[in-house]
Structure 1
Amino acid sequence: MSKLFPGLVASLLLWSGMAWAACQQDRIDIKNDSAQIRFNIELAITPQERSRGLMFRESLPNRSGMLFVFDPPQPVVFWMKNTLIPLDIIFLDRVGVVTRVHQGAIPGDLTPIEGGDSVFAVLEINAGLAARYAIQPGTVMRHEIFSSGPAIWSC
């Protein structure tokens, strides 16, 4: 059959590969009216992983970040103790919609950064990238943890 329909077989293989690549554990896709961008991420799911976060790191590659998961959603507060990199901190709800953005968190600052009462996930990225990509409340993110994400852009 592949001799009769080589284009069809190639298209199906390409499509299935793209569908698989759409959601991967080490990537998050971000979309709003101004941009659609992909970040490579590390997950912080356990209390120990969330507690350590990006502490003691001297750099963070461009378009990389850490995604903290809080299941069930809960009030969260971040600070920059032992964090050496200026960060943008993005708070998300259960479906992957940005609810709050704190831009330019200062390394070493112990001032609490509140995320709200029902935070499901937090994405930390290099400072300045939230503004560059217009990440603000209402921006949508796609990752497998947002299992009930917006139907038009779910995994």
Structure 2
Amino acid sequence: MPRLLRRLAVLTALLLGSGLAAASDHWVELAGERFQVEIAATEAQRARGLMYRERLEPGHGMLFIHDWFGPQAYWMKNTRIPLDILYFDEQRRLVSQHRDVPPCRTRDCPVYPSGAPARYVLELNAGEAARLGVAEGAELRFGPGIPAAAE
């Protein structure tokens, strides 16, 4: 029995390290395509974001829900994968985007501002925004269980 417990502990550690254990049944839809998303609705979750991840599975992303509607700015400190950063207003319309943002492992990482007030930020694998052809005004649809704003 101890051997089985040890194997389960190793498997759990691997899942947690890869981010798979944090996956959920939440989804968003953009340009007719559905993405499974992790929700970052607390300050701690937003601060950590996708840091230290080695990869983001295809068809997955992270949805950041901010407490306030206003200018937002993101950076890629300790982020190991290139991303598209998409900013949405309170009506979930795309107001700005930064495509193919490279990882940053230094102390002086550039900041990527929203350029317009935003409430929601969607991070996807780099290249997804171009593949989908999303432009400002594109609508982000939420699946069930995603709060309209941070509580």
User: Is the contact between residue 96 and residue 116 of structure 2 (CA under 8 Å) also seen in structure 1?
Assistant: no
Cα distance between partner residues in 1 of 2:148 and 2:134: 17
User: Is the contact between residue 86 and residue 97 of structure 2 (CA under 8 Å) also seen in structure 1?
Assistant: yes
SS at 1:51 equivalent: helix
One-letter amino acid matched to 1:137:
E
User: Is the contact between residue 96 and residue 142 of structure 1 (CA under 8 Å) also seen in structure 2?
Assistant: yes
Cα distance between partner residues in 2 of 1:135 and 1:63: 16
The CA RMSD measured in Å over matched residues stands at 1.7
- Say whether 1:58 aligns with 2:54: yes
2:111 match: 112
How far is 1:135 from its partner? Answer: 1.6
1:83 match: 79
How far is 1:118 from its partner? Answer: 1.7
- Say whether 1:27 aligns with 2:27: yes
1:126 match: 125
SS at 1:54 equivalent: coil
Q: Equivalent pairs: percent with the same residue?
A: 37
* Structure 1: segments with no counterpart, 5+ residues: 1-23, 148-155
- Say whether 1:38 aligns with 2:34: yes
| 4+ long deviations beyond 6 Å | none
Cα distance between partner residues in 2 of 1:118 and 1:130: 20
One-letter amino acid matched to 1:26:
H
Summarize deviations over 1:11-51 as a string: whole Å, max 9, x none.
xxxxxxxxxxxxx96100113xxxx1000000000000000
2:141 match: 142
After TM superposition, the score normalised by the length of structure 1 is 0.73
Q: Identify if the C-alpha distance between structure 1 residues 125 and 28 changes in structure 2 by more than 3 Å, giving closer, same or farther.
A: same
Q: 2:98 aligns with which of 79, 97, 102?
A: 102
SS at 2:117 equivalent: strand
SS at 1:116 equivalent: coil
User: Is the contact between residue 96 and residue 146 of structure 1 (CA under 8 Å) also seen in structure 2?
Assistant: no
Cα distance between partner residues in 1 of 2:51 and 2:86: 17
Summarize deviations over 1:36-81 as a string: whole Å, max 9, x none.
1000000000000000000000000001000001122122110100
After TM superposition, the score normalised by the length of structure 2 is 0.75
One-letter amino acid matched to 1:38:
R
How far is 1:145 from its partner? Answer: 3.7
Aligned length: 120
* Structure 2: segments with no counterpart, 5+ residues: 1-23
One-letter amino acid matched to 2:127:
G
